[in-house]
Chains A and B, each alone.
Chain A
Amino acid sequence: MQTHGLAELYRQMGRARAFELAVERLWRRGLISGEMHLGTGEEAVAAGVVTQLRAGDGLALTHRCSPALVVRGVPLVPMLREMLGQSDGLCGGRAGHMHLSSREHLVACSGIVGASLPRAAGFALAAKRLREGAVGVAFAGDGAMNQGMALETLNLAVAWSLPLLVVCIDNGWAITTRAGSVTAGELGARAEAFGWTVARADGLEVEEVQRAASELLARCRKGKGPALLHVTCPRIDGHFLGDPLLEQSRHLTGSAAKQTLGRVMSAAVSSGGGGALQRAASMVKMVGTMAKARRETGRGDRKDPLRVAHQAVKRAGGAVDVIDAEVEAEIASAVERALAGIEVRDA
């Protein structure tokens, strides 16, 4: 199996991050509509796994899809043009950022949580019959693993012995819910119980992710059945841009947080309803969730995977600054080309 050196992995992570930051700027300017879920924090997963794919492998992604698409080599300008709603965008401006797809790359995203598993199982089935040695790969969140069709796929993929790799990106969250608080058992153990091969990796360590992905993919390609890679990583920019949970928990004295608090307090003291203990328990839980959101890794923090990789490359004597500059130039040029001919109504 081909492996990529740390510097190349870092470059891919940097591309994914720079792309997301560019998307954020466009979103803030009102040029991108809808729920914009950034994949900041997932770069090591995207780079570690997607660099291990070959032509002919099918990739099914989620609402948080751009890092994997960038690493897969989907052209950046059409992708940005799509997000900007242009008719020469990747999908003719019809799909938007949650439903990006490229037939040429055999990659498709869906905003239906859990749908990537059966879709990738289908890619795997087609690979088995049409492209020997190729695989289907699904990215899925930790929350998605509780979706009915996801659980059904755990069974189906074994029954049909599919060359399927599911990469569970465990960021701890499903919007405002701690995914673990509504999940029974451990996700890897769940898959193991169905007969899957399971590996776990730390999403802060891109080489670890790459190693694990490469081993699991090799098994899948040899027809040894489905595999799950469970990777933990931070959710740096909240559920989506403008996430009120993140906003309010980072600005506890802001007007939005105060308004929420006012509503909650007046309801909590209304007559009729739960007992005092129950009400107190609710308040404690809500405050706990906000505290978690507040403590979440931010950009450039010690636990930002990009920073971790940056330091690792530096330690190894790699040319971090050159890579950073090249990446920045690539993305800036893509954005400039993507904006060509678009009337910008900035104030």
Chain B
Amino acid sequence: MALVSDGAFIADEWRRLADEESLPGSGKVIVSLGRLPAAREDARLTALGVYVANTTDPKALAPYFARLALIDIAFPAFTDGRGFSLARLLRREGFVGELRASGRLTPDQYLHAVGGGFDTIEIPDELAAHHGEANWAKARQARSLSYQRGVAGGASILERRRKGVA
């Protein structure tokens, strides 16, 4: 797996745990939604993350926010845009940790992901070989303007017009 952050491939400090693996004594661990209640009580973990389906109810996750440092939303297909809405709703519910999109996303969707509030994107190695780091770096800068807030360069075009700044 390759991890994209700010247009670069970075090392992943997190370990994704399959349901049959037991909780390790320490470290940063991503568990499934089903294991979240138990994992939350495990004080040995340095940091806790959860991976969820894009159909997850954001309100169901909210009670865990205080203990959660990462939420990883699965993209079952790169054309399935539910994850973009879920990300936005999680931010609205008050989640401030790392939001990660995982699946076969392409660099061409980078700004969509950023606009939804994602910090990182996790893609399979073979896809990372196909769309290299340079593609992601370029895609991060593809547009400097957006009609929506938070997508490219922060302020929306409407807000820029209002302020009269370029």
- Indicate, yes or no, whether A interacts with B: no
